[in-house]
């Protein structure tokens, strides 16, 4: 193009466009300043070249305009791979990559692949928007690209690839080296487009037709038709199920949601912090990603999709409960990538076959996916026991895919941490026994009324990805040779997989102002601390979390302890009272109940250090050997409750914790023994840490006490859970811990499951039986509790027995 036209067009591009995302950033682009730089685009595009030229000049990168003046060549600084054309007859020219001159010149040069995305649309026909809106898998003509620049000038992404050194590919044959360089660049461009745009999407109706016509669904229809059902009616029903389930991801809605959510987050939160996404971006190029976040709020899936879109990744298809498929909200979510499932379809074989096949086709084609392994939102703030349904279907789909060498699949654990959530009041009502309200469009109006309230910051932390193939190699070694669609090893492996994922999620928890303040304040006897003591305790907790004693890798707040307390006050979670002898920070009972939810988000990080600190409550001096003997049997139930790793070498973990607590000034070492420090301040700090684990120890002790007093074979699971819950509620009222989460029935279910897993109890004819092992474990646990606490637990349990026996005695009287 003549220079007189190129200059004004470049100026127009500068004024009209805005690069929303560039990866990597210019300061992280590993260019060798001593080598000539040649930028390579995936296809000829004047708008891409002009935008790249403007961006390079603005950020001090090697220029993208002009020509490279080399001894034997004179190429432009920005070139494009030739567009591939369909050849009508043999011998027709198809275009050759323009690197031959550089190879023959024997000059060292670096090729930098550059992908430019004007908006992002998955490859699907979207009508007029498809003409105007954005980049997709389809090739773009000149008119459509010009219109796309006009529409998407404020939503541009630039993806730089790692520099490719041409001389390293040269093998003496210039044409072959040229083809090799072009092939490597095309593979890179294809992977980048897959990461950003996702796989090429099929039309929704095409997907549903394929599901209904699949062998698995037809086989289920044939089996049901043998029971006098009409085959045509069954096909219509299967097609209706497909329409009920399938997503209808559309680019206009993605763009609308991206803009709307950006405004929503800016109004709701002071910022969204994202950690650990770099490894996921690399995996997205050639892996099927399955995001498995924790589920704390209704906005989890919106937040994660927004973060992925903002960071240059394709938003996933999201498994959502059918309760969200309501007027107004449902169609919007469906077009944003949500597909809906019923809470249970065990008794509906046809629905199960349709859903399984739809899920398999999404995964087999490489669509990123997201679902919540907990099943529902956590009302207590803890990680819930994983549900096996979606995990089992994913593993079965993986087995089908691997038999035809499809893309590898990998789970991506995600922790989402809030300083304040929208559902505070509803969670407390439901934990207190209130019935869960059915979702409705009116809920959106209620939420809109609270948008002006402060909600602090939110963190999105990415955990260590878990490749499914590697996991099965470790836990089901013979899986590659098993041709069964439902192998015997599947059920136990799904359970292990769920626990592994929850642990990986918890491992990257986010400490923030609210959960840190909750950890410290709720450990005090009266939910109040002096301001100076609270700031010291917050600093201590951060140092403890950042030490080897924690054993995890949480993200820490950037603020000082003083700023954390100020934020908690601003968000209405605590109260600060001025006093002449020093300010006091306290909570009301309502605030304490709310803080307990946020404390439970991160309590697992301190479970084992707190258990060690609590052990010094009942005895002044303990040795490492004694602590190991005392705490090793008690740790598995607690580890399962908090969804953390059950340490393979307990002695090493305890030694590390003791060393850190000595360094923090909480313990002193005397030969082989450890004792609390002599200072009153140090003892108070140690006691506050130990109190964090006390509610869990009391709950566990109560349940075991109820079981032992009732006798082996006297109680079933439901009765034991209800009696323990009632006693825990009574203990909470007597001890000032009346927060509903303290007597959450799910905690007792988890404990009973753990006792069964450890072999301390077992089921016979729906009754729980035990032997001397449980009695010895209870005696050992009682050594950890001081005398006053043991008396209180025994008294509460005895009152419960008297209350149960009294009605039967009265009824026996004539």
Banded model confidence at residue 151, pLDDT cuts 50, 70, 90: confident
User: What is the rounded radius of gyration, in angstroms, for the C-alpha atoms of the chain?
Assistant: 31
Which residue carries 């002599």 as its tokens? Answer: 678
Residue 801 is predicted with a pLDDT of: 54
Three-state secondary structure call for residue 757 = helix
Query: What is the secondary structure of 639-684 as a DSSP string?
Result: HHHHT----S-HHHHHHHHHHHHHHTTSEEEETTEEEE-SSHHHHH
Give me the mean pLDDT over the 591-620 stretch: 91
Query: In order of start, what are the domains of the chain with their CATH numbers?
Result: 3-84+95-197 (no CATH), 204-432+452-507 (3.40.1130.10), 513-691 (no CATH), 694-812 (no CATH)
Cα distances from 469 to residues 363, 365, 472, in angstroms, run 14, 17, 5
Residue 158 parent element (H or E)? strand 156-160
Residue 174 is predicted with a pLDDT of: 80
What letter does residue 392 receive in the DSSP assignment? Answer: H
Least confident of 201-215, 510-524, 592-606: 201-215
Angle at 474 between CA 471 and CA 478, to 5 degrees: 105
Give me the mean pLDDT over the 549-560 stretch: 85
Tens digits of residue pLDDT in 274-300:
999 999 998 988 899 999 999 998 889
Q: What share of the chain is helix, strand, coil (3-state, %, to 5)?
A: 50, 15, 35
Q: Cis peptide leading into 192, omega within 30 of 0?
A: no
Phi, psi of 254 (to 5 degrees): -60, -45
End-to-end Cα distance, the chain: 110
What letter does residue 70 receive in the DSSP assignment? Answer: B
Residue 536 is predicted with a pLDDT of: 95
Average model confidence (pLDDT) for the chain? 84
Residue 405 is predicted with a pLDDT of: 63
Three-state secondary structure call for residue 229 = coil
Nearest to 295 by CA among 396, 427, 198: 427
Q: Do residues 189 and 115 make contact, with C-beta atoms less than 8 angstroms apart?
A: yes
- Separation between Cα atoms, residue 734 and residue 313, nearest integer Å: 52
Residue 354 is predicted with a pLDDT of: 95
- Separation between Cα atoms, residue 51 and residue 163, nearest integer Å: 19
- Separation between Cα atoms, residue 385 and residue 393, nearest integer Å: 17
Tokens of 545: 């979390």
Q: Do residues 455 and 419 make contact, with C-beta atoms less than 8 angstroms apart?
A: yes
Residue 458 parent element (H or E)? strand 457-462
- The count of other CB atoms within 10 Å of the CB of residue 96 is 13
Partners of residue 160 on adjacent β-strands: 114
Nearest to 625 by CA among 655, 648, 646: 655
Q: Which residue has the higher pLDDT, 600 or 265?
A: 600
Residue 140 is predicted with a pLDDT of: 54
Q: Do residues 39 and 112 make contact, with C-beta atoms less than 8 angstroms apart?
A: yes
Whether the per-residue pLDDT at 92 is higher than 50: the answer is no
Tens digits of residue pLDDT in 79-89:
898 876 544 44
Cα distances from 181 to residues 24, 127, 618, 802, in angstroms, run 22, 37, 71, 84
Nearest to 73 by CA among 109, 105, 98: 105
Nearest to 420 by CA among 451, 383, 384, 458: 458
Three-state secondary structure call for residue 38 = strand
Least confident of 255-259, 335-339, 518-522, 673-677: 255-259
Partners of residue 339 on adjacent β-strands: 319
Query: Helix count (H) and strand count (E) of the chain?
Result: 33, 22
Nearest to 251 by CA among 339, 129, 145, 128: 129
What letter does residue 366 receive in the DSSP assignment? Answer: T
Residue 731 is predicted with a pLDDT of: 75
Give me the mean pLDDT over the 258-269 stretch: 82
Residue 200 is predicted with a pLDDT of: 66
Nearest to 696 by CA among 549, 522, 556, 537: 522
- Separation between Cα atoms, residue 305 and residue 183, nearest integer Å: 32
Helix segments in 158-299, DSSP class H: 174-197, 204-212, 215-225, 231-245, 251-268, 278-283
- Separation between Cα atoms, residue 526 and residue 585, nearest integer Å: 11
Whether the per-residue pLDDT at 574 is higher than 90: the answer is yes
Nearest to 537 by CA among 558, 565, 510: 565
Residue 144 is predicted with a pLDDT of: 65
Angle at 728 between CA 722 and CA 730, to 5 degrees: 105
Residue 91 is predicted with a pLDDT of: 46
Tens digits of residue pLDDT in 645-664:
886 688 899 999 999 999 99
Helix segments in 296-366, DSSP class H: 300-310, 329-335, 349-364
Least confident of 136-150, 188-202, 277-291, 679-693: 136-150
Nearest to 688 by CA among 591, 616, 637: 616
Banded model confidence at residue 636, pLDDT cuts 50, 70, 90: confident
When mean pLDDT is compared over 73-82, 247-256, 584-593, the highest value belongs to 584-593
Query: What is the secondary structure of 421-439 as a DSSP string?
Result: -TTHHHHHHHHTTPPPPPP
Cα distances from 477 to residues 407, 481, 614, in angstroms, run 20, 9, 41
Q: Which residue has the higher pLDDT, 640 or 5?
A: 640
Q: Do residues 407 and 287 make contact, with C-beta atoms less than 8 angstroms apart?
A: yes
Tens digits of residue pLDDT in 406-452:
788 999 999 999 999 888 777 777 766 666 666 666 666 666 667 77
């Amino acid at each position: 193009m003549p220079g007189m036209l190129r200059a004004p067009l470049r100026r127009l591009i500068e004024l009209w466009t805005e690069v929303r995302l560039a990866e990597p950033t210019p300061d992280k682009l590993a260019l060798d300043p001593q080598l000539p730089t040649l930028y390579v685009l995936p296809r000829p595009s004047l708008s891409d070249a002009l935008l790249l030229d403007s961006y390079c000049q603005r950020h001090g990168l090697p220029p993208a305009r002009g020509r490279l003046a080399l001894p034997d060549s004179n190429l432009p600084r920005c070139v494009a791979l030739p567009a591939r054309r369909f050849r009508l007859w043999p011998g027709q020219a198809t275009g050759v990559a323009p690197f031959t001159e550089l190879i023959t010149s024997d000059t060292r040069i670096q090729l930098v692949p550059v992908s430019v995305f004007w908006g992002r649309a998955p490859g699907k026909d979207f009508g007029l928007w498809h003409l105007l809106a954005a980049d997709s898998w389809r090739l773009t003509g000149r008119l459509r690209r010009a219109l796309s620049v006009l529409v998407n000038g404020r939503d541009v992404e630039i993806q730089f690839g790692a520099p490719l050194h041409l001389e390293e590919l040269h093998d003496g044959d210039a044409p072959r080296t040229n083809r090799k360089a072009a092939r490597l660049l095309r593979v890179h461009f294809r992977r980048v487009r897959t990461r950003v745009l996702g796989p090429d999407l099929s039309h929704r109706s095409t997907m549903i037709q394929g599901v209904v016509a699949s062998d698995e669904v037809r086989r289920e229809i044939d089996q049901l038709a043998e029971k006098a059902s009409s085959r045509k009616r069954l096909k219509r029903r299967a097609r209706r199920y497909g329409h009920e389930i399938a997503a209808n991801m559309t680019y206009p809605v993605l763009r609308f949601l991206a803009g709307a959510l950006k405004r929503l987050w800016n109004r709701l939160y002071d910022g969204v912090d994202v950690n650990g996404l770099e490894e996921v971006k690399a995996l997205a190029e050639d892996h099927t990603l399955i995001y498995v976040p924790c589920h704390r709020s209704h906005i989890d899936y919106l937040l994660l999709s927004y973060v992925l879109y903002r960071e240059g990744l394709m938003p996933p298809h999201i498994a959502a409960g059918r309760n969200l498929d309501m007027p107004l909200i449902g169609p919007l979510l469906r077009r944003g990538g949500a597909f809906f499932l019923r809470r249970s379809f065990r008794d509906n074989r046809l629905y199960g076959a349709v859903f399984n096949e739809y899920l398999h086709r999404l995964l087999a084609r490489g669509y990123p996916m997201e679902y919540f392994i907990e099943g529902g939102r956590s009302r207590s703030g803890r990680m819930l026991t994983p549900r096996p349904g979606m995990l089992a279907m994913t593993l079965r789909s993986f087995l089908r895919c691997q038999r035809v060498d499809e893309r590898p699949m990998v789970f991506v654990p995600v922790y989402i941490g809030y300083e304040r959530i929208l559902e505070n009041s509803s969670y407390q009502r439901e934990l207190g026994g209130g019935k869960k309200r059915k979702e409705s469009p009116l809920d959106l109006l209620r939420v809109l009324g609270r948008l002006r309230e402060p909600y602090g910051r939110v963190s999105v932390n990415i955990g260590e990805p878990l490749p499914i193939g590697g996991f099965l190699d470790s836990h089901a070694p013979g899986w590659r040779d098993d041709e069964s669609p439902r192998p015997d090893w599947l059920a136990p492996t799904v359970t292990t997989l769920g626990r592994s994922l929850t642990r990986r999620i918890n491992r990257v928890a986010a400490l923030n102002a609210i959960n840190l303040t909750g950890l410290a304040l709720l450990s005090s006897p009266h939910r109040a601390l002096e301001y100076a003591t609270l700031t010291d305790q917050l600093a201590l907790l951060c140092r403890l979390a950042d030490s080897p004693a924690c054993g995890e890798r949480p993200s820490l707040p950037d603020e000082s302890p003083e700023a954390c307390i100020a934020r908690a006050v601003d968000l209405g979670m605590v109260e600060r009272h001025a006093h002449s002898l020093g300010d006091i920070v306290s909570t009301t009972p309502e605030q304490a109940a709310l803080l307990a939810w946020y404390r439970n988000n991160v309590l697992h990080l301190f479970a084992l250090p707190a258990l060690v600190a609590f052990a010094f409550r009942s005895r002044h001096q303990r040795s490492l050997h004694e602590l190991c003997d005392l705490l090793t049997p008690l740790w598995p139930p607690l580890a399962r409750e908090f969804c953390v790793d059950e340490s393979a070498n307990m002695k090493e973990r305890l030694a590390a914790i003791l060393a850190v607590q000595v360094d923090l000034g909480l313990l002193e070492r005397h030969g082989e023994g450890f004792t609390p420090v002599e200072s009153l301040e140090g003892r108070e700090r140690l006691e506050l840490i130990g109190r964090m684990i006390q509610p869990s120890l009391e709950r566990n002790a109560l349940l075991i006490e109820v079981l032992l007093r009732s006798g082996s074979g006297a109680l079933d699971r439901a009765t034991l859970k209800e009696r323990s819950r009632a006693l825990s509620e009574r203990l909470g009222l007597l001890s000032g811990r009346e927060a509903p989460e303290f007597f959450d029935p799910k905690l007792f279910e988890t404990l009973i499951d753990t006792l069964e897993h450890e072999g301390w109890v077992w089921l016979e004819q729906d009754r729980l039986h035990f032997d001397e092992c449980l009695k010895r474990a209870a005696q050992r646990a009682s050594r950890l509790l001081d005398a006053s606490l043991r008396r209180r637990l025994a008294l509460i349990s005895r009152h419960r027995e008297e209350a149960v026996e009294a009605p039967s005695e009265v009824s026996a009287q004539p």
